[in-house]
Structure 1
Amino acid sequence: MHFVFMGVSGSGKSTVAELVAERLSLPFAEADEFHPRHNTTKMARGEPLTDEDRGPWLAALAQWIADHESGGQPTVMACSALRRAYRQRLREGASSVHFVHLDGPRDLIADRLRQRSGHFMPVELLDSQMATLEPLRPDENGTTLDISRPVPQITEDAVRTVAAALGRVPRARHRR
């Protein structure tokens, strides 16, 4: 099974997905790292991507999933996966893909984007992403988590979700 943490930029998908992958010792992919330079340059200029721009990127992500599927290795990925069609493209890599939609209020996400530094995605594209977002439908394998809570709580819910789907008991967090 493969788990794609989805949502608009600033929803916390990379942070939470990476923590889940670490806790459950699963391979992790940051979808932003798969974008061709053309895409990141375009977004940095404040221009939304087109479906044509996303095609090669989605194909590379599906291939990453397929490569791990062929080795019997479950994975965790952080990817916007805003549209149902994009999620379908990711499922071309493996039939067993579970989406974890990190969702929350626009103002919270905008504040997070404004506080971020060194990322190619400007806050000006948030409205475009929110307009593009198609929430999970009942026939899609997925879970929606509210991001209004602290990251440790969201992460614990996500770890439980992924571990249950894999039939595992999650490793306890190390407390300091």
Structure 2
Amino acid sequence: MALSVENRRPTIVVMGVSGVGKTTVARLLAERLALPYAEADDFHPPANIAKMAAGTPLDDADRAPWLAALAGWLGDRAQAGAGGVVTCSALKRRYRDTLRTHCPDAFFLHLSGGHGLVEDRLAHRAGHFMPASLLDSQYAALEPLQPDEHGAVLDVAHTPAQLVEMAEALLRPVNGDLA
């Protein structure tokens, strides 16, 4: 029996350039909404991680299997009506379109911040394979959400807790009682 849209839990992609706090916000949001959580970095093949760690941006061929795996994860959760929250840079419209292939109703929560703030965060982040030197390439590739895309932009000048509150408020009119 198919679930009605009203009875489905939301599928949310927390997106943005590296260093905006995708992982922190996505984990908090998934916990708050009692949804499964996935970290997009875990879907990268080792070759992609090595390439980024060496300071080389990924190209579309590198991203294709990664995006397909993420789309499958989203689609599986949507199909089951379980919802989920996943992080993904999703910088370009065509990447978001790929993610929507299996989950047309995915909500894209774009965490956005000024270059200086994000660069400072990256400079002080430890234990991540994405070097600050790739930030410029990410900003250059970023295509903002378009009016026909289901989602919203939130400014990362807010605390993660505030961002989660704001995201929950944005999702409530679409999905009713989320918890």
User: Which of the five TM-score ranges fits, normalised by the shorter chain?
Assistant: over 0.9
Whether the 8 Å contact between 1:31 and 1:79 is mirrored in structure 2 is yes
TM-score w.r.t. length of structure 1:
0.93
CA distance in 2, matches of 1:126, 1:95: 29
Fraction of identical pairs, as percent: 52
Which of 50, 56, 61 is the equivalent residue of 2:65?
A: 56
Q: Which runs of 4+ in 1 moved over 3 A?
A: none
* Equivalent residue number for residue 144 of structure 2: 135
Whether the 8 Å contact between 1:3 and 1:162 is mirrored in structure 2 is no
* Equivalent residue number for residue 53 of structure 2: 44
User: Which 5+ residue runs of structure 2 have no aligned equivalent?
Assistant: 1-9
Whether the 8 Å contact between 2:33 and 2:178 is mirrored in structure 1 is no
Deviations 1:2-48 (A, max 9, x none): 11010000011111011000011001111111000000000000000
Equivalences for residues 60-99 of structure 1 within 5 A: 60-99=69-108
* Equivalent residue number for residue 19 of structure 1: 28
Q: How many residue pairs were aligned?
A: 170
User: Which 5+ residue runs of structure 1 have no aligned equivalent?
Assistant: 171-176
Query: 1:145 is paired with a residue of what secondary structure?
Result: strand
Over the residues paired in the alignment, what is the CA RMSD in angstroms? 1.1
Whether the 8 Å contact between 1:4 and 1:98 is mirrored in structure 2 is yes
Whether the 8 Å contact between 1:81 and 1:87 is mirrored in structure 2 is yes
Whether the 8 Å contact between 2:51 and 2:57 is mirrored in structure 1 is yes
Matching residue's letter, 1:23? R
CA distance in 2, matches of 1:162, 1:146: 17
